[in-house]
């Protein structure tokens, strides 16, 4: 599975050149550069060579006001013909990523390596009700790329092309 690791970001150059150079020297990375963002990722070998394209673009940004300052950035993610609108919330108390307009968070389950949507609510007798569902069509790579784009403050479109 391709993996994006946390990299130092610079508004002018994107991820640090040292991180990109290190991945290239190992001979395991391919580089896709678009709108000043470099995304190294590991190629999968000995599998079906069908192409998967992931497009990510920030489509909105709102500043949180009130007791807690922060921001909510909205991203349009297109993967394998499906489109998702994801909201990345970042403030002093916590950060999360979820589906825009819906309660809950998105996370990657390590057991099945799939993106899940989880909603929690108080239950009876001091319990907690949890609703957890798999998000079909959204890959862990796309979720990680949105987090990286948000961390770097990227406003242009990012395209990731990989072979499966």
The top-scoring range by mean pLDDT among 17-21, 92-96, 110-114 is: 110-114
Residue range 61-68: mean pLDDT, rounded = 85
pTM: 0.67
* Residue 49 reports pLDDT greater than 70: no
Q: pLDDT-derived band of residue 164, with 50, 70 and 90 as boundaries?
A: low
Q: Could you please report the per-residue DSSP string of the chain?
A: --------EETTTEE-HHHHHHHHHTT-EEEEEETTEEEEEEPP-SS---EEEEEEEEEEEEEE-SSS-EEEEEEEEEETTEEEEEEEEEESS-EEEEETTSSSEEEEETTTTEEEEEEEEE-GGG-EEEEEEE-TT--HHHHHHHHHHHHHT--S-EEEEEE-
Residue range 92-101: mean pLDDT, rounded = 90
* Residue 75 reports pLDDT greater than 90: yes
Q: For position 15, what pLDDT does the model report?
A: 44
């Amino acid at each position: 599975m391709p993996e994006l690791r946390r990299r130092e970001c610079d508004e002018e150059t994107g991820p640090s050149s040292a991180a990109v150079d290190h991945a290239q020297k190992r001979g395991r990375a391919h580089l896709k550069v678009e709108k000043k963002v470099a995304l190294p990722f590991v190629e999968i070998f000995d599998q079906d060579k069908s192409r998967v394209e992931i497009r990510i673009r920030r489509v909105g940004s709102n500043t949180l006001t009130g007791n807690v300052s922060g921001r909510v950035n909205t991203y349009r993610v297109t993967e394998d013909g499906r489109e998702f609108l994801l909201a990345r919330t970042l403030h002093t108390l916590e950060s999360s990523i979820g589906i825009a307009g819906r309660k809950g968070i998105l996370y990657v389950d390590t057991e099945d390596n799939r993106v899940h949507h989880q909603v929690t609510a108080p239950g009876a007798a001091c319990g907690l009700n949890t609703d957890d569902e798999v998000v079909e069509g959204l890959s862990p790579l796309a979720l990680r790329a949105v987090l990286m784009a948000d961390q770097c403050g990227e406003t242009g479109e990012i395209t990731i092309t990989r072979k499966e």
